[in-house]
Amino acid sequence: MSEAPHLTFDVNMPGMSTGHLVVPEGADCEALSLPVFSLNKGEGPRLLITGGCHGNELEGPIVARRLVDWLPEAQTCGRVIIVPVLNPPAVQAWSRNTPVDGLNLNRMFPGRADGSVTERIADAISRLLLPMADTIFDLHSFGPKWDFPPASVTHPIADADLMAQTVRMAEAFKFPMTLVWEYHDTPGMFDILAQSQGKVFICAELGGGTVGSEALAIYESGVRNALIALGLVEGKVEHPTFRQQKSSQTLETLPSDELKSPAPGIFEPRCSVLDEVKHGDLIGILHPMDWLSASSIEIRAPIASIVCGIRSGAHVDVNEEVALLARPLVRQSCRAGRHALDDSLDRG
Amino acid sequence: MSEAPHLTFDVNMPGMSTGHLVVPEGADCEALSLPVFSLNKGEGPRLLITGGCHGNELEGPIVARRLVDWLPEAQTCGRVIIVPVLNPPAVQAWSRNTPVDGLNLNRMFPGRADGSVTERIADAISRLLLPMADTIFDLHSFGPKWDFPPASVTHPIADADLMAQTVRMAEAFKFPMTLVWEYHDTPGMFDILAQSQGKVFICAELGGGTVGSEALAIYESGVRNALIALGLVEGKVEHPTFRQQKSSQTLETLPSDELKSPAPGIFEPRCSVLDEVKHGDLIGILHPMDWLSASSIEIRAPIASIVCGIRSGAHVDVNEEVALLARPLVRQSCRAGRHALDDSLDRG
């Protein structure tokens, strides 16, 4: 390896400055230069906004790029660092994982300086950008294969105070859904690393499916709401209208809320995101590819739920996720951080 | 090759019968068995409905499968043959083209019995199913990378009478858009083959993006409208509501209406499908990946148009299509088949 990861400019300069985060070359890939925008207005919150961790989730890079246009005028204090694209090779390939090494950047944190390209990206971000922020907005989406409402997401956090802070921050986006997602495949995730350092980390899931202009306006509005809540910009919070509805709800989802395909075949969705379903309601139908010799299989809601994600009609493998359900966050619970959540919700 | 393509059942049996279209094995792939449903109610129109030509357009297979559930009861005369999935390997791979040979089935007609698997599928359909129909509905969509309204589409046809018949049939779906698409990349397309035999062929483009339950209901309703117009089923024509609008318009699009990306980069859509745009209105923005050293490029409407398709926000190559514009079909024109269209439109 020829050099260490580095920034090509001094992010501490006042006002707006720009440059690159250089991820060194390795045996598998030449050096990468990730554009970085820094907006330094002195004392105040220190925020890092990232997009393009997964290459088929372009909502984040576009919203991040829009912020660069208006934030220099709007920001009144503090420091915001924006990296619209964390993973350029994946974005160029419209691929969730990095094509060069096949790795998922959001499972590689804190990365390795002598690893493959995905590990080197994670290492550069962890060492050079993460220490400069107390709050991180990582802009994801559910990608082209899912329908999903605009949502701000956190996993449960053992530290009760940090959990309460995180849920408050997540709710400040005023997205249709704030989701506490109990999820086990977390080793190497960016949020786990940031939270272990006491930082507030929000994973924005900016919808799913095609990335259209109307949806982008909603996503941008949500991020702007969060910037207002942080005190970085002034303005009036707006409740974005999503599919003719204005509402925000805080939900939780458990591993048992992931519905999986009982067989390989074509999944036909039979409900829509944010639908309320009762026990036994139809979620979708799995049609085996040989429609003559095998019966279609109905997939039904195991308990009363709200549909927070539904797979697009497509061929799926057996045990592939086809729907994600959720329920309003329960106040009385002994899971980690739940008492902090209760405090958070009690503020009304 | 071990055998000729064949049907495993007698499609002339009265009522509903089912079986397979067997596409023989070749050096590249084992034999394929495509499920086929036949609904024979005697004299009347002879219709073939196909889906799944492209493996990442699952709207068609799902709508075709739904028809199989209610058509046996509803159909009053004639014969309908339904093949929900023309290209099983492509559907299993969620891939536009067949993975085995990389070919686009909709450029391979009439196919070759001794060709690669895609050519063998085209050959089996051309020889065994196409002769049994006078009208064909081939159910496509714009796939996961585009937003597109539900539309029935035809290319211009030199035979004026067939053109008039085809546009009338296309309009009978009552989709938000009926589109006459002047398109040059037509050799090997299914419609060109069918039209050369004097048949009425409608390519349904059932939207784009995620395949959701609300959209599927619209698509099914449009196909049902067309079945009513053909006299195959009885019922009341419904004008499907698409994104809170009930309207149908007949448009035409020329090769010059395809807007392409001026450079590689991330395309940001700035308009929505069915938007009316004036000369110079913003369609989208192309952001080069190195956002620091290269300026973003605005893509604007060259003439007053209606947006009929817009690319999802994603990385695109230079000269990749990012938008498709259209205008109301002009009555006075000397292009092939236009006089027939005038007649068709004059019926009010």
A19: which chain B residues are within 8 Å (Cβ-Cβ)?
292
d(CA A340, CA A167): 9
**Both structure tokens of A292:** 């003559």
**Both structure tokens of A140:** 């994801």
Among the partner residues B146, B208, B315, nearest to A92 by beta-carbon distance? B315
Q: Do B210 and A270 touch (CB under 8 A)?
A: no
Question: What pTM, to 2 d.p., does this model score?
Answer: 0.93
pLDDT recorded at residue A127: 97
Nearest in space to A9 (alpha carbons), one of A29, A39, A30, A31: A39
Q: Do A92 and B20 touch (CB under 8 A)?
A: no
Q: Do A94 and B209 touch (CB under 8 A)?
A: no
d(CA A312, CA A39): 39
**Both structure tokens of B145:** 């990378």
Nearest in space to A78 (alpha carbons), one of A50, A39, A129: A39
- A84 interfacial to chain B (CB closer than 8 Å): yes
d(CA B227, CA B45): 10
Nearest in space to A308 (alpha carbons), one of A330, A329, A319, A323: A323
Question: What confidence tens digit (pLDDT) does each residue in B334-343 have?
Answer: 344 444 454 4
pLDDT recorded at residue B257: 95
Among the partner residues A18, A61, A290, nearest to B35 by beta-carbon distance? A290
Residue B331 has pLDDT above 70, yes or no: no
* φ, ψ dihedrals at A226, nearest 5°: -70, -35
A61: which chain B residues are within 8 Å (Cβ-Cβ)?
266, 287
- A123 interfacial to chain B (CB closer than 8 Å): no
Residue B127 has pLDDT above 60, yes or no: yes
Bridge-based pairing state of the strands A150-154 and A177-181 = parallel
Question: What confidence tens digit (pLDDT) does each residue in B188-197 have?
Answer: 999 999 999 9
Q: What count of CB pairs under 8 Å joins A to B? A: 146
Question: What confidence tens digit (pLDDT) does each residue in B22-63 have?
Answer: 999 999 999 999 999 999 999 999 999 999 999 999 999 999
Q: Name the residue type at position A234.
A: E
pLDDT recorded at residue A334: 37
Percent of chain B with pLDDT over 70: 94
pLDDT recorded at residue A331: 52
- B207 interfacial to chain A (CB closer than 8 Å): no
How does DSSP assign A34-83, residue by residue? EEEEEEEESSS-EEEEEE-SSTT-THHHHHHHHHHHHHHHHB-SEEEEEE
> Would you say A6 and A22 are in contact if contact means Cβ atoms under 8 Å apart?
yes
Residue B69 has pLDDT above 80, yes or no: yes
Q: In which band, very low, low, confident or very high, does the pLDDT at B249 lie, cut at 50, 70 and 90?
A: very high
Q: Do B212 and A20 touch (CB under 8 A)?
A: no
* 36-55 in chain A: CB under 8 A from chain B: 55
CA distances in angstroms from A248 to A181, A212, A274, listed in the order given: 16, 21, 11
B291: which chain A residues are within 8 Å (Cβ-Cβ)?
35, 65, 68, 84
Q: In which band, very low, low, confident or very high, does the pLDDT at B346 lie, cut at 50, 70 and 90?
A: very low
The dihedral built from the CA positions of residue A301, A158, A177 and A332, taken in this order, carries a sign that is positive
> Would you say B76 and B41 are in contact if contact means Cβ atoms under 8 Å apart?
yes
Question: What confidence tens digit (pLDDT) does each residue in B197-248 have?
Answer: 999 999 999 999 999 999 999 999 999 999 999 999 999 999 888 887 778 8
Nearest in space to A105 (alpha carbons), one of A117, A94, A93: A117
- A207 interfacial to chain B (CB closer than 8 Å): no
- A287 interfacial to chain B (CB closer than 8 Å): yes
The pLDDT of B117-142, averaged and rounded, is 98
Among the partner residues A62, A266, A269, nearest to B313 by beta-carbon distance? A62
d(CA A304, CA B65): 28
Q: B196-215 burial by CB neighbour count: b if 16+ within 10 A, else e? A: eeebbbbbbbbbbbbbbbeb
Question: Which residues in chain A land under pLDDT 50?
Answer: 1, 332-340, 342-348
> Would you say B139 and B60 are in contact if contact means Cβ atoms under 8 Å apart?
yes
Average pLDDT of every residue of chain B: 93
Q: In which band, very low, low, confident or very high, does the pLDDT at B347 lie, cut at 50, 70 and 90?
A: very low
- A70 interfacial to chain B (CB closer than 8 Å): no
How does DSSP assign B120-131, residue by residue? HHHHHIIIIIGG
Q: Do A313 and B211 touch (CB under 8 A)?
A: yes
Nearest in space to B335 (alpha carbons), one of B125, B170, B183, B116: B183
CA distance A149 to chain B (A): 13
Q: Do B272 and A214 touch (CB under 8 A)?
A: yes
- Residue B344 vs residue A62, higher pLDDT: A62
- A68 interfacial to chain B (CB closer than 8 Å): yes
Q: Name the residue type at position B251.
A: L
Best residue of B214, B261, B272, B291 to probe chain A, by most A CBs closer than 10 Å: B291
Can you give the C-alpha Rg of chain A in angstroms?
Answer: 20
Q: Do A213 and B68 touch (CB under 8 A)?
A: no
- B8 interfacial to chain A (CB closer than 8 Å): no
A314: which chain B residues are within 8 Å (Cβ-Cβ)?
56, 58, 94, 211
Residue B327 has pLDDT above 80, yes or no: yes
Nearest in space to B125 (alpha carbons), one of B1, B7, B2, B3: B7
Q: How many CB atoms lie within 10 A of CB A294?
A: 13
pLDDT recorded at residue A338: 46
